[in-house]
Structure 1
């Protein structure tokens, strides 16, 4: 009797009626555009500037545009489930809430803490990357000043960093304050950074196309390999699997369900809108990059900056860095 009672408590499910699912203690103030940009901010971050170059150089070549289209389609199929759940159960909690309703409290408990851990580690990594990009923008002035003032805390290569990363701590505190001001305020800030980031991606794409050489896509090279499919169809399919990680973040839409106006309309529209926009951005940017220089000359670590530098457009490096900074701030705020 006692064991069955414990099992019943562990696997009990939360239930919502059609009316109670819409009840919320939070203010429903987010429209379609604001919810959509919340997910765009999660997806179009610094990862794009690194992921595209790595996949092009090692897996796909110019056929990365097909890989991104395939990955976008796979993400869309997954998004159908999130859109359905988000419309049916418009509550905060996303996967935690859906698991609680569908499977039970024990599994929801594990998933809830896993999601929290994911966001903690992810935000820490993004904050460190943001600090590094900002430091490179000012020619290492921040790290040099910190080392001169505080000194080295641990030798290079140890578990801990060489010096305390004050800037990453400050940016996490700043974004925490923005989020604490309320969903409307954080949505306004997030939208502003998304627009800035999309502006930078548009600049990279359009400016890159001025250096376009379509012969890099056509015919075969001196070794008889297709220029568009240098790694074959298998490489393109493998690249699609890697490119799927660029779409991770669309589930952020579901967390906004409890603060969205008319969530049964807002969540599905925002889901499909953000995936369409992000897929277009990825295809356009990666296509522009592969038309600028041969795929095997692309630097996986700094693909866009080095490509423009190879064309003599070194000023573009700073614009790309600003885009990466804006993208990472999007990740932190959203």
Structure 2
């Protein structure tokens, strides 16, 4: 991917060190900062206005490829459901409703008459329903094929945007004390205005990983101690005991010791999760609306 180092300032001993960025309050876990840009919105005109918007909206209004892909999926799904509903109302419903069942005692509601329950066994109408089922299957596979062709065609603009490396800039040399991605976002907005889509920082989760490893180790110790105690009980031997390092002469049951250790490790891990990461990895990613912005950032010495 594309890379660029942020401006550096001399360190205390004269060497070049990454320029520290202001640190703000600790964010929620996990840290991410994302801003999606839109070119304009309109007021709602009614309960069914979403239907008009779905087919009339321009995909270029959204810079996010995820949004464009999802809108394309919704459009294909709505077209498919419209055709299936039309076939059901024009063909399936009259076929079921106009049938003459052998008995009317169980047909108490309009839903009963509209279902296949209204058709007597052996009627030719079942062949019509069988053909409609095949029609549903063919239409469904046809729309799946069309949607797949839409997102895999290299000439379609939405497919060209599926390569995120062309729109993303890798930034290194960020001070590890900076955990606010808004600083990175604001820095690039000074040069590219509204063409900056998102900014993310890679956080350092080493504390959480170490705490998870310690908790797993304590759980394994507890399980192993229980198995050994069960074996010693069958052999009529005393249970295992340990001597904690803070108690030089007093031994405690091993099971109780490891239970307390597991409880402590679990509480510590929960505290780390709530607190969130306190250090960054020195890396960040900035996404733009076009590959030209990435090229301009790499060529502009001010950035």
Q: TM-score, normalised by structure 1?
A: 0.18
| Structure of higher RCO (CA pairs closer than 8 Å, 6+ residues apart) | 1
Give the number of the structure whose alpha-carbon radius of gyration is greater: 2
Q: TM-score, normalised by structure 2?
A: 0.19
Q: 1 or 2, which has the higher helix percentage?
A: 1
Q: 1 or 2, which has the higher strand percentage?
A: 2
